[in-house]
A and B are shown apart, each in its own frame.
Chain A
Amino acid sequence: MSKSKTGGYKGPYGYQKRKDGEGRSCVRYKCSLMNTVLDVLHQRPGWVEVKEDGEWDFNWCDVGWLRENFDHSYMEEHVRICHFRNHYELTRKNLMVKNLKRYRKTVEREAGRLEAVKCDFFPLTFVLPSEYHLFVEDFKRSPGSTWIMKPVARSQGKGIFLFRKLKDIMEWKKDCTRSDEQRDEAQVESYVVQSYIENPYLIHGRKFDLRVYILVTSYLPLKAWLYRDGFARFSNTRFSLRTIDDQYVHLTNVAVQKTAPVYNPEKGCKWQMQQLRRYLTAKHGTYVVEELFKDIDNIFIRSLQSVQKVIINDKHCFELYGYDILLDQDLKPWLIEVNASPSLTASNQDDYEMKYSLIEDTLHIVDMEGRLTGKEKRVGGFDLMWNDGPVFRENAGLETLGSPFQTANTHLGGVNDRKKQLRQLLKPFPGQKKV
């Protein structure tokens, strides 16, 4: 395919954009997942799946493939892949904690204490075994409080347990050295211990956490999009601290995992983010909820800023993160985890439609077809949240010009009329006639 060498507007990734009306009309893709993603790719006009060793323009790969192949692949300018090389700086709990702590220190040094407080959205965490002594100091300072032990690299629910007494970790340590599980390369730093949030926000006795989707297309400069849809995942059991008393101990006790007051994504049901937002607004009023969602925005931006300089920026890469947020009774949001491969398998029809739209909009933003100008603040259900600086909504009134009280361009839990917006925004696919 010939490249246009004259003029030509440079698209958001810096590669030569085709002239208007022309776009990459055939995109060869690889996909290692067998779920919703594959459906979206199959149905995208002009996109063709390639076989094992074929050349590809787009790869929706899993992190395993990335680890083995990224360093050995040469990618042409236009090629796109769905992960950053060292995404684990954000998504592995021990590294995330390390980066957040370092970032906080920097903020405090440069902008003072008040600003640093805004970084206090993750519970007190220590990496084991390297920070064991620091942990013990803090543990002794707050007797009776509950702590949660989490394996660094495993997906949620597995290997997690709660405890209140130090002797429980001693026993666990002994168990660990005997078990076969330690074939992980990073076995030395394989756990984090975190202060357990004992007062989660409950809706009629049930605990829930929030799943939010963030798309990052560049770290330097930082460009991040926030998806309007998301959901609240409820646990099946009523929350009670009693269950910790009964069952807080041994890793080998399988029953612990089933009834633990730790969220298990398999069980329970979901509310759409819009429903949750409305519920909270009905209960606490519009102002309080708007402040809450501002605080949540703050978590996304700062967590990304904390790894901005660590992540190897690469114009070929983009990444769709699944953030897990927990609210406490004071309506303070806490960051629990960031997932580099959020589940895109649908649990029911509504879920399927939501994830389908999410992936479709992700591909619109990646824009292999060259249909965007790069100046968009909204594409489908995604709103541009950060573009080397905060992004604000279009302000209708003159009073807001230059005012410090501009509203952020985020609509989490807001109305998602993406189809309408896309119709107005996008030109038809290259090769397609205008409808």
Chain B
Amino acid sequence: MMNEGSELSVTIAQIVQRLKGTHLHSQLEKQAKECLHRPEIRLESIKEDVRKFLRATGWERKLQNAVYRELHILPPSGHPEAPLEHTKEPLAYMRKAQASWEKRILKSLNSMCTELGVPLARKRPVLEQKELTSKWNEMGADEPDLSKFRPVYAPKDFLEVLINLKNPNHDHSDGLTARSHWGLIPISLSVRDVPQLREAYPELSLSCSQLGIDDHAHVPPDLFESEHIRIGKKVVDEQDSAAAQQYSRQGSPTGLRAQLWALILNITNDPEDVAHYEQLKAAVIHHDLLVDNLIYKDVKLTASNDDYYFVFEDVLYQVLLCFSRDTAVLEHFSYNSATPPKSYIQGKTGEEEFAVVYPPNVPLLPCQMGIVCRLGVIPFHGFSMYVAPLCFLYNEPCKLYSVFREMYVRYFFRLHSISSSPSGIVSLCLQFERLLQIHLPQLFFHLQEIMAQPLRIAFKWMVRAFSGYLSTDQLLLLWDRILGYDSLELVAVLAAAVFAFRAENLMEVTSLASAEAVLADLSTLKVMPLLQIFLFANVI
């Protein structure tokens, strides 16, 4: 067992390693060098004086924010002898399940590629490149024929995989019991119950004011809203990541949200971020990926059909096409349960060879025309909805891209990969079921009886973190808290709260279809009251 001291120094070493060579590092060095000319810097106390200077000019804060960000994405520390894979995902059967799921996806993609005769990757002829460059800002104007492409998988396919997870350590010898078949998720993970949630989310309690409740039209703004906005402005002025995160637990005011989220996610829009985005854009212009068609299709089917997100169609393409080529996203897999491989893609002639790395993840598989590759984030049906709400906050594609990527790397990826993380979709599903079983056992039993397992309905909400199901302003209030608490747990709690809210109607339905109908329209729901009542107003 490592003691805390050495654990800390390992962490520090890791963070220093990661921040070395970044734009921030060079800026800090530059600032430190230049400040030496200043009169207040004395030779005998040079260290303290430089530090003081960096603090006064806000550079120390920027460094703090960067360190804070690194802490967020650092994998949990494990035994020094353990392979990286094991620290990413300690449960072997989870690792296996994720690997085989990815294999399945890749296989499906490959067979689509064979069936349709479309290559996985293809270099664009110069004329096509020119054309794409000129219509970069209006890619949505095209209406390409996408009828032959189908999404590689939909959330319900993924649910089937989760339902069939098997923990080899689990003793099934007592056969079918009421307990073993109470819910759909067959494995046990530690999930929090309501008393524990109350302790974890004190800012949502009845005695605590927040946006989404206490900014209602009939509540005088003097009671909470005005003061909260004033504090928010201060937080933004201070440029403090950690403070912004804490602040966001009570909600972000509409006028400050974009800045607050950027602060929490430490999106600095450095020249290196801009350059990175331009590079990705160049990659999009340069070659065409099969995955691009899936992206087009997904945007056309989901966001473009939405009453509010249709306006953002063009920028969604800009973000998602770049995202599928972003190898820096790979590094998040260093704490995802999957192992990224390397890959090459050959051109049709076999002569051109270019290393296009599909976001990684999957073992190599040969496919048509001798192309070997591995694929990374394969968009499933509804993927574009992760980005759509962000378009409401950010206008420039580069910034929007950075925000989305960071959110994906911190949260969204957990919603569609198999892991034991408390924010992972498996835990969320389990937690949802447990909450209903404990607090609404009659409802759970009833729905199960009529073959309308609650998880089958709630799953699609959770996989998308409710995007596209709630009205935008409510969704943003929910995502405020996801960022504030750095956890997706509230997604599961909200799903349970929605069932609790409509329990009366659900008790009267007699089929899955009617249960779906009762829960079809969530656009009128107010998220914060639902969460608050479920967590703090229910009798335990």
Contact = CB atoms under 8 A, between A and B. Distances in A.
Interface stretch (B147-155, B271-279, B308-316): B308-316
Nearest to A287: B255
A397 B312 contact: no
B254 A271 contact: no
19 contacts: A203-B311, A204-B313, A204-B315, A205-B138, A238-B141, A238-B314, A269-B307, A269-B310, A270-B307, A279-B392, A281-B255, A282-B254, A282-B255, A283-B258, A284-B255, A285-B256, A286-B255, A396-B220, A417-B217
B188 interface: no
A78 interface: no
A204 B311 contact: yes
B501 to A, nearest CB: 19
A232 to B, nearest CB: 9
A238 B311 contact: no
Contacts of B308: 271, 275
Interface in A370-409: 396-397
A277 to B, nearest CB: 9
Given A204-B315, A283-B258, A285-B255, 8 more contacts: A237-B141, A238-B137, A271-B307, A278-B254, A281-B255, A282-B257, A284-B255, A286-B255
Interface in B300-329: 307-308, 310-315
Interface string A258-281: 000000000001110001001101
B392 A234 contact: no
B220 A206 contact: no
**Nearest 9 CB-CB pairings of A with B:** A286-B255, A285-B255, A281-B254, A415-B217, A238-B138, A281-B255, A282-B254, A282-B393, A203-B311
A414 interface: yes
- Residue of A279, A397, A415, A417 with most chain B CB atoms under a 10 A cut-off: A279
Nearest to A289: B255
Nearest to B140: A238
B314 A204 contact: yes
Nearest to A416: B217
Interface string B247-269: 00000011111100000000000
B395 A283 contact: yes
Chain A contact patch, size range: 20 to 34
- Residue of B222, B255, B310, B472 with most chain A CB atoms under a 10 A cut-off: B255
Nearest to A240: B138
Please classify the interface of chain A as helix (H, G, I), strand (E, B), loop, or mixed, using the class held by over half of its residues: mixed
B472 A278 contact: yes
A238 B217 CA distance: 36
Interface in B386-413: 391-393, 395
A278 B253 contact: no
Interface in B465-485: 472-473
A360 to B, nearest CB: 20
Contacts of A279: 392
Contacts, number: 59
Please classify the interface of chain B as helix (H, G, I), strand (E, B), loop, or mixed, using the class held by over half of its residues: helix
A285 B315 CA distance: 22
Contact of A414 (B217, B257, B473): B217
Interface string B194-215: 0000000000000000000000
A213 B109 CA distance: 52
A206 B257 CA distance: 23
A50 to B, nearest CB: 39
A289 B311 CA distance: 20
Contacts of B391: 204
Contacts of A269: 307, 310-311
Nearest to A208: B311
A269 B313 CA distance: 13
A275 B472 contact: yes
A351 to B, nearest CB: 11
Contacts of B217: 414-415, 417
Interface in B126-170: 137-138, 141
- Residue of A206, A287, A396, A414 with most chain B CB atoms under a 10 A cut-off: A206
A271 B258 CA distance: 21
A203 B308 CA distance: 12
B524 to A, nearest CB: 11
A234 B472 CA distance: 18
A219 B134 CA distance: 53
A283 B258 CA distance: 8
A68 to B, nearest CB: 41
A397 B221 CA distance: 11
A350 B255 CA distance: 27
Contacts of A203: 311
Contacts of A285: 255-256
Contacts of B473: 278
Nearest to B221: A396
Contacts of A415: 217
Nearest to A350: B307
- Residue of A238, A282, A287 with most chain B CB atoms under a 10 A cut-off: A282
B399 to A, nearest CB: 12
Interface string A272-307: 000100110111111101000000000000000000
Contacts of B258: 282-283
B215 to A, nearest CB: 10
A270 B256 CA distance: 25
Contacts of A237: 141
Given A271-B311, A278-B472, A415-B217, A205 B255 contact: no
Nearest to B229: A286
Contacts of A282: 254-255, 257-258, 392-393
Contacts of B254: 278, 281-282, 286
Nearest to B259: A285
Nearest to B216: A415
Contacts of A287: 255
A271 B472 CA distance: 12
Contacts of B137: 205, 238
Interface string A331-353: 00000000000000000001000
A234 B138 contact: no
Contacts of B229: 286
Nearest to A269: B310
B253 A286 contact: yes
A204 B312 contact: yes
A331 B380 CA distance: 39
